[in-house]
Structure 1
Amino acid sequence: MIACCIALFALLPLATLLWLSATPNAELWSHLLDRIFWVYLNNTLILCIGVALLTTLIGTSTAWLVTRFNFPLKRFLEWGLLLPLAVPSYILAFVITDQLEYAGFVQRSLRAIFGWQSARDYWFPEIRSMEGAIIVLSLVLYPYVYLLARAAFVEQAARLFEMSRCLGKTQTQSFFKVVLPMARPAIVVGLTLAMMETINEYGTVAFFSVPTLTAGIFDVWLNMSSLSGAAQLAMLLVVVAIVLLSLERYSRSAGKYYKLSGQSPRMLAEKLPLGRGLICTFYCLLPITLGFLLPVGVLGNYSLRSLDSDLTVYFQNAWNSLSLSAMAAFFTMLMGVGLAYGVRLSKSPWMRWSAELATVGYAIPGAVLAVGILYPMGLLDNFLDGLSRRWFDYPLGLLITGSGAALVIAYSLRFIALSFRTLDASLTKITPQMDDASRSLGSNSGKTLWRIHLPLMRPSLLTAMLLVFVDTMKELPITLVLRPFNFNTLATQVWDRASLEQLEHSALAAITILLTGIIPVIFMSRNISRQQYAGA
């Protein structure tokens, strides 16, 4: 029953969007179709295709290099290539624009070196453009492809690769004809995750003035004052997200690959000559430098220069971010436990299906989820305020939407998938015989969960809370829509200041978010490195 209630609650935003989108908006859509809708759609498609191509290229090539070859700094690069995953894309967009714009370090240096006096004396690519957005998003999203592609290469049946070489195929031919096809399912999963993040992106596309469907939701809602129109655009994004997930699942089911034996030998790394090794080192260092070292260096420098200013504002916003993230992590963990344990107890396909449906929030863009949350929470606020006025003659005001409660609810529904997936995987490792033994000793299902499962799941509980905590710290679209008046987090502080070309004043907040994001990256890199070098 608890699991069913959680599943129904998690589906509330989607149900709200369906209800709101049923409102006819012929005049609005006539205006959108005549002027801007096709621009939204075209830009979204171009952005997704560009990011897909670049993330696949960077992620797959670097994963193969660090798996197949030995070259300088390889051990660092194996986990260092994951570091850009800790950088929110909007922060990287601010930093790169700050360094490459006309008054930035790069163009200032070029003018000083060549003696140019103004922008008329030379050509420099436009940073705030579609191409700039594709590059920025690819630099922070390629680790999804890299992580899963490298895991696939590590688990690759090495003898098949060697058999291909023995049959006269070159190393390149063996890679494209044997290794890459076998790793395709893992690469497609990583690419799907990158695409989901791309259609969810708001900060980067808004800052670079690239109108996409996500930006269009804000435009229709706030500038055209049409909540139902925004809901209709939001449902279109939901359809896109569902199509992406369906294509990913179809791709995995259409091509299945199995190991030939229980334990495959590890692929032996080939030592490269110094010259080729240095080229590989430079190639792998480039995305780390642009996607992680550059923002850390710039923000660290700006933070030291502005350390004595706005500290009161910083600490207030940091407390807001930490408290909201901690509450969201805790409630999401409780919901994840309820769903995972409900699936374990029920063992019915219907319960599994309901739990899977409850995690659809992670596939829905944050701006879309915010639209679906705000309306029912507003109705609940008005209902509670009316009751309080009638019964106690005391106005409650906006009890939920006027406080951080709406943010915590939205964060929890957005990231419940992280909690459920982690805890469900942990529960499946606990043998059912332990449940039977506990029940035979007189414990009901609740006591069994409290005394047996939760202590055994403690590492997974902490992992689930950590993942939700870090993602909540970085979340921008939901916070921009649902934050109360005069309420800021570190993410909105960065957005507000950097949007006004005041990156220095937001540097401390930005680097705090960035350093927080490194924690799960370290965990992931340690796990995959342990997997690769076990038994070496």
Structure 2
Amino acid sequence: MSSFILKAPLSPPTAGKGKTRRQRHPAALVVTALVAAAVLLPIVAVIVMAFSGTGADWPHLARYVLPQSVRTTFVLLALVAFGSSIVGVGCAWLVVAYEFPFRRTFAWALVLPLAVPPYLAAYAFGEFFHYVGPVQTAIRSLFGFTRPGDYWFPDIRTTAGAAIVMTSVTFPYVYLTARVVFVMQGRNIADVARTLGAGPARVFWRVLLPVARPAIVAGVALVLMETVNDFGAVQYLGVRTLTLAIYSTWLNRGSLEGAAQIAVVMLFLVFLLLTAEQMARRKQRFHSARGTQMKVRPPRIALSGWRASGAFAVALVPILAGFGIPLAVFGRYALNRLHRLAEPALAEALITSIGTALATAILAIAVALLLLYAARLVRTRRMMLLVRFATIGYAMPGTILALGLLISLARFDNFIDGLAREYLGLSTGLLLTGSAAAVVLACAIRFLALAEGAVQAGLEKLPPNLDEAARSLGRSALASAATILLPLLKPAIFTAGILVFVDTVKELSATILLRPFGFNTLATYVYENASRGAVEEGAMAALLIIATAIVPVILLSGPLMRDRDA
């Protein structure tokens, strides 16, 4: 959800002016370069590991692992792209173009599935459609079946089942991007098309859909990046994607080099998705309507009778699938296990999650403020490029990030240990590898883009010469930032903190691979219970994750119900 607040850095001025600023603030360029280097280090470490080893595992990977993993990954991505496009675009057009019961409520409720991480949705779907789950139990009661062989029921533990799970919780990315275009761009061109005699269906297919295509592609690219990043859902459903292949090769086969080689293949796939997303964003063009026009409600067709009931059902089904099923499954389990609230393991996981998320939010916001203020001081193309590199972590799957960090931190720890042995005669051991600091660092790298985007959105609302005026009165750059900009940026910083905090609480793929022994967050607590076939034991933790993740949806609910704030 928060990906939509990401914006490009400030446009560079003329070369001469940029050169003067660079000379005045060399430290800003150095700090930004160091942050970018730290973010890119895991990627470089993975690539170096993949191409510098013996290559002994490559024949096995190329013959037995990669063909199936690549094929499964592409099939899953294709199914999720198709499903999220249909559901996201269809729901966006429905709430924008038609008037039906509870339309305003559906406008924001369709974002609720984003509060459910894919791995929680997989656990819930697995329980809901299990042989002893409510669906199959109802079928047996209705038709009198007594054995599994008496009837056929689709298996959720397939690639198609994983696609349904992923689509149910990621389609809001497409819904949000498409809705923005339909609301802000569609009202004028649709009116023109109608005056020429075009009906609603023809306006949608021939006019609005082509206009919204770049935004839809951008939303689908975000959906696919979330799908590639997923680890918990595909592992639980037994779908062997590239992410799961990295995990299995690393831990089950004990081959770090082989895992790095698979990760390079996955990095190429992520690069293709990023390229598609960036190209789609460049093709987006928005007409800046005047304030009076934006206050006018878009014309909607009033539905009645069976058409209104049909629209109500179409909008309700995605919400029930992506949010209702997980809430019902985990809620039922939690009500029967209220004593779990006093369980020390759950309390420890909650405290660990809060502490990790707070540390990550503070670190990410601090680095984001440094990056953005450096870009404000040094408005050059070089600075723009460095800021982009520094915020690329959001596109990195957590598995690759964890693998790269493990390699980098292990070499750093070995280097420090070697120096200590040589000059001090003692061993420092592992300082960062396998520590809570590694988890915080991984989450901060991955979610730095969220903090940067939220803070930049607030920074762009401030006059560009505000801090310059303060410096002209004798204040230093640091003093003007601390006393002028920071107080004005408090709402944006608060929003950034919420976004990073929530995503860190939900994060599983990097945490499960980097955490030290005995380190459990709410996400890993649920994962461990699901891995041993006891999903119900992690229901309380799952509800806590969903309750935390629903906060951004609440923040969005007001604007989404007011079309002028789309």
* TM-score, length-scaled by structure 2: 0.91
1:72 to 101, 113, 121: 101
Corresponding position of 2:22: none
2:396 to 354, 364, 369: 364
Corresponding position of 1:174: 203
Corresponding position of 1:58: 87
Corresponding position of 2:141: 112
Q: Distance between the aligned counterparts of 2:268 and 2:434, measured in 1?
A: 31
User: Is 1:36–2:65 an aligned residue pair?
Assistant: yes
User: Is 1:482–2:514 an aligned residue pair?
Assistant: yes
Alignment of 1:69-108 (within 5 A): 69-108=98-137
User: Is 1:299–2:343 an aligned residue pair?
Assistant: no
Amino acid at match of 2:373: Y
Amino acid at match of 1:150: R
Structure 1, 317-326 or 415-424: larger mean CA deviation: 415-424
Q: Distance between the aligned counterparts of 1:25 and 1:176, measured in 2?
A: 55
Amino acid at match of 2:135: V
1:277 to 293, 302, 308: 308
Structure 1 residues 342 and 533: CA distance shift in structure 2, 3 A: closer
1:207 to 236, 240, 250: 236
Map Cα deviations across residues 398-455 of structure 1 (whole Å, 9 max, x no partner).
Answer: 2222320000111101111111122223222221221221111111111111011111
Contact 2:218-2:280 within 8 A present in 1 as well: no
Q: Distance between the aligned counterparts of 1:389 and 1:531, measured in 2?
A: 65
Map Cα deviations across residues 345-402 of structure 1 (whole Å, 9 max, x no partner).
Answer: 1001001101101111111100000011011212222344455566666654322223
User: Alignment RMSD, CA only?
Assistant: 1.8
Map Cα deviations across residues 269-320 of structure 1 (whole Å, 9 max, x no partner).
Answer: 2211122111100111001111112211221221121121471110001111
Corresponding position of 1:189: 218
Give the CA deviation at 1:253. 3.2
Contact 1:381-1:399 within 8 A present in 2 as well: yes
Corresponding position of 1:517: 549
Map Cα deviations across residues 490-530 of structure 1 (whole Å, 9 max, x no partner).
Answer: 10110110122211110000010011000011112323334
Q: SS at the partner of 2:391? A: helix
User: Is 1:431–2:463 an aligned residue pair?
Assistant: yes
Corresponding position of 1:376: 408
Contact 1:157-1:259 within 8 A present in 2 as well: no
1:312 to 327, 344, 353: 344
Structure 1, 198-207 or 99-108: larger mean CA deviation: 99-108
Contact 1:182-1:257 within 8 A present in 2 as well: no
Amino acid at match of 2:546: L
* TM-score, length-scaled by structure 1: 0.96
User: Is 1:340–2:372 an aligned residue pair?
Assistant: yes
Corresponding position of 2:21: none
User: Is 1:397–2:429 an aligned residue pair?
Assistant: yes
Give the CA deviation at 1:248. 2.1
Map Cα deviations across residues 167-198 of structure 1 (whole Å, 9 max, x no partner).
Answer: 12221011111111112222122111101101
Give the CA deviation at 1:103. 2.0
Q: Distance between the aligned counterparts of 1:529 and 1:443, measured in 2?
A: 44
Aligned length: 534
Contact 2:128-2:325 within 8 A present in 1 as well: no
Q: Distance between the aligned counterparts of 1:462 and 1:496, measured in 2?
A: 32
Corresponding position of 1:500: 532
Structure 2 segments unaligned to the other structure (5+ residues): 1-29
1:221 to 223, 231, 250: 250
Contact 2:89-2:174 within 8 A present in 1 as well: yes
Corresponding position of 1:440: 472
Structure 1 residues 484 and 66: CA distance shift in structure 2, 3 A: same
Structure 1 segments unaligned to the other structure (5+ residues): none
2:317 to 271, 283, 286: 286
Amino acid at match of 1:170: G
Corresponding position of 2:279: 250
Structure 1 residues 64 and 157: CA distance shift in structure 2, 3 A: closer
1:48 to 74, 77, 81: 77
Q: Distance between the aligned counterparts of 1:520 and 1:257, measured in 2?
A: 25
Structure 1, 290-299 or 138-147: larger mean CA deviation: 290-299
Give the CA deviation at 1:486. 1.9
Q: SS at the partner of 2:517? A: coil
Amino acid at match of 1:74: R
Structure 1, 413-422 or 380-389: larger mean CA deviation: 380-389
Map Cα deviations across residues 137-164 of structure 1 (whole Å, 9 max, x no partner).
Answer: 0000000011111121111242321221
Amino acid at match of 1:222: L
Corresponding position of 1:324: 356
Question: What is the percent sequence identity of the aligned residues?
Answer: 39
Amino acid at match of 1:282: A
Amino acid at match of 2:218: V
Structure 1 residues 280 and 25: CA distance shift in structure 2, 3 A: farther
Q: SS at the partner of 2:475? A: coil
Map Cα deviations across residues 210-239 of structure 1 (whole Å, 9 max, x no partner).
Answer: 101111111221122221221121122222
Q: Distance between the aligned counterparts of 1:424 and 1:349, measured in 2?
A: 17
Corresponding position of 2:26: none
Contact 2:45-2:408 within 8 A present in 1 as well: yes
Q: SS at the partner of 1:72? A: coil
Give the CA deviation at 1:82. 0.4
Contact 1:200-1:366 within 8 A present in 2 as well: yes
